[in-house]
Amino acid sequence: MPATIDDTYAEAFRSIYASVLVTARDRTWLDHAITAATGNASSAILCDCEAGLDRYLDASDTPDGRPGAVVQFHVPRFWKDREARLERSVLVRVCQNVLTCPTTAAFNVLPADEKWFPLGRKVSYFGDGHQFAAERFGRRCWVVPILSGEFVIERRCGWADGLMGGNLWFFGATADGALEAATRAAAAAAQTPGVILPFPGGVASSGSKAGSKYKFAVASTYAEYCPTLRDALGGASKLPAGVASVQEIIINGRDLATIAAATQAAIAAAKDTPDLLTISAGNYGGKLGKSFVYLHPEKQPA
């Protein structure tokens, strides 16, 4: 029997984000750069941003004719100094993890006419005065001399409004069932261009709720859904009967329609997983965000 799909919604909230296209000589070095540049970027609770792989591009679709990958970097719109914090996050990650990775180059993805920051110029200061502006591959770039040759980076990095916090919960009769369902869902959602799944492997094993008994913490474990706390919490537990484990995926993206499409792809891929009982989602009744991603597609506004 397919899993039950709860009649609920995930509550996404507004972000601003940048997209960077990284290219490299081959997939091996491209993946090294992407893995490093998106490291420690799972949750805005303590990370400087939420980042992840959007999609790979064939060499025929990149400016320099080499394998490429688009990476998204998100910060919540409600953060103070959000634009400066986004710029800082992208600057640090490109400078420390792309510039340093053999054979790579970096290009802009989003429109950069009104909303942009001078990523290329700031990264180019590593050249210590030997850097220079040039047109490369039909784009205005900075060229930085490095030990292995040159690092090419486009001058501007555009940013735009996006969304964070789309999610699905997978309630399993076994731990293996919950994880297998989340794994299938993450793989399917990742095939939707325009979204990222920022957690390791696309899966979050420690879903959180806002707030904590400790004043210094902004989030904490969702105790009401922890299987090992079912008896201790008694009537306060919200975990359905028979559920042994819960896994979650988080989906960020460029807009609500794209996240909704990824959500439906994830549900379709996971619903027939053995030992999966229910697919649900986390929300806060509209207190966190105003963009609702409905699990029942007929309820999703056009």
From first to last of the 302 residues of the chain, give the pLDDT tens digit: 899 999 999 999 999 999 999 999 999 999 999 999 999 999 999 999 999 999 999 999 999 999 999 999 999 999 999 999 999 999 999 999 999 999 999 999 999 999 999 999 999 999 999 999 999 999 999 999 999 999 999 999 999 999 999 999 999 999 999 999 999 999 999 999 999 999 999 999 998 988 999 999 999 999 999 999 999 998 999 999 999 999 999 999 999 999 999 999 999 999 999 999 999 998 887 778 889 999 999 999 87
Is the distance from CB of 204 to CB of 42 less than 8 angstroms? yes
| 122 shares its domain with 223 | no
Which pair of tokens denotes residue 45?
A: 């609770």
| CATH of residue 149 | 3.30.70.520
| 190 shares its domain with 274 | yes
SS3 for 135-172 is EECCEEEEEEEECCEEEEEECCEEEEEEEEEEEEEEEE
Run of H or E residues at 90: helix 82-97
pTM for the predicted model, two decimal places? 0.96
| 237 shares its domain with 182 | yes
Rounding to the nearest 10 degrees, give the CA dihedral for residues 167, 172, 175, 176: -90
| 57 shares its domain with 35 | yes
Is the distance from CB of 166 to CB of 263 less than 8 angstroms? yes
| 141 shares its domain with 112 | yes
Host domain of residue 110? 16-160
Work out how many domains the chain is built from and give that number: 2
Run of H or E residues at 186: helix 175-189
| 202 shares its domain with 278 | yes
* Measured distance CA(14)–CA(28) in Å, rounded: 34
Q: Where a domain ends, among 160, 180, 208?
A: 160
| 243 shares its domain with 186 | yes
